[in-house]
A and B are shown apart, each in its own frame.
Chain A
Amino acid sequence: DAKTTQPPSMDCAEGRAANLPCNHSTISGNEYVYWYRQIHSQGPQYIIHGLKNNETNEMASLIITEDRKSSTLILPHATLRDTAVYYCIVRTQKLVFGQGTRLTINP
């Protein structure tokens, strides 16, 4: 019952910005958009979250459209260590993971 849609895979060149899209057209007014990533079989790592304003932290930027139906995670200068599965999640009482986007950073 994931409420988001993401491309299954993406590639990005090392040093370039990686832009990961996510659609969440059924998001409700009080639900936050979260991004996590999972590197190999490690625990999911929290990246960033937002409600309606754009957010930035030391890892990434999150751009949420004005109608909140979609968002983009931006990794400004991708490195090889950013290769992972990235999950876009609409947070309710449960954090429900979808299939995510497998991002591969190429040298």
Chain B
Amino acid sequence: DTAVSQTPKYLVTQMGNDKSIKCEQNLGHDTMYWYKQDSKKFLKIMFSYNNKELIINETVPNRFSPKSPDKAHLNLHINSLELGDSAVYFCASSHGWDRYNSPLHFGNGTRLTVT
């Protein structure tokens, strides 16, 4: 009954490869997010989708392409992986991107290691 679930939990791959991370939420939320936490532990928002529509794109390289097939899913596809992409990626969801009274609920993260 995990609220926000991400797969895989760990991902090790080589530079230049293409990989995807999947996220699903069963909270009935209509807004989903991707955050990145680098080695210095800074958590930064990357994208936000509301009802399958992109609403926040924090100047992330074009190699990162989020896709939301429905409100409950937000996947992250990364092309041509680089060493600097190594990080922990967190998915989150909430009710309404503009509802400041709505907490975000986070998944447990996907640790991506690019070698």
* Chain A residues in the interface with B (C-beta under 8 A): 30-32, 34, 38, 41-46, 49, 51, 85, 87, 91-97, 99
- B101's contact among A32, A41, A42, by CB below 8 Å, is which? A32
Cα distance A94–B37 in the bound complex, in angstroms: 16
Contact B106 A97 (CB under 8 A): no
Q: Do A43 and B90 contact each other (CB < 8 Å), given the known contacts A94-B45, A94-B48? A: yes
Q: Are A30 and B100 in contact (CB under 8 A)?
A: yes
- Contact residues on B (Cβ < 8 Å of other chain), bracket: 20 to 34
Nearest residue (CB) in A for B31 is: A93
Query: Which residues of A lie under 8 Å from residue B111 when comparing CB positions?
Result: 41
**By the criterion CB–CB under 8 Å, are B100 and A43 in contact?**
no
Within the complex, the shortest CB–CB distance from A107 to chain B, in Å, comes to 25
Interface residue ranges, B against A (CB under 8 Å) = 4, 33, 35, 37, 41-45, 48, 55-56, 88, 90, 92, 97-98, 100-101, 103-109, 111
Once A96-B45, A97-B42, A97-B43 are accepted as A-B contacts, the answer to whether A44 and B101 lie under 8 Å apart by CB is: no
- Partner pick for A95 among B37, B104, B108, CB 8 A cutoff: B104
Q: How far is the CB of A99 from chain B (nearest CB, A)?
A: 8
Enumerate chain A residues within 8 angstroms of B106, measured Cβ to Cβ.
Answer: 43-46
Q: Which residues of A contact B92 (CB under 8 A)?
A: 43-44, 95
Shortest Cβ gap from A52 to chain B (Å): 12
Minimum CB–CB distance for A93 against chain B, Å: 6
Name the one of B48, B101, B109 contacting A43, with C-beta atoms under 8 angstroms.
B109
Q: Which of A41, A43, A85, A97 has the most CB of B within 10 A?
A: A43
Contact A91 B43 (CB under 8 A): no
A72 to B33: give the CA distance in the assembly, Å.
27
**How long is the Cα–Cα vector from A95 to B102 in the complex, in angstroms?**
11
For A41, the chain B residues whose CB sits under 8 A away are: 37, 88, 109, 111
Q: B85 to chain A: closest CB distance in Å?
A: 17
Complex CA–CA separation, A97 to B100 (angstroms): 15
With a cutoff of 8 Å between Cβ atoms, the chain A residues found around residue B35 in the complex are: 97
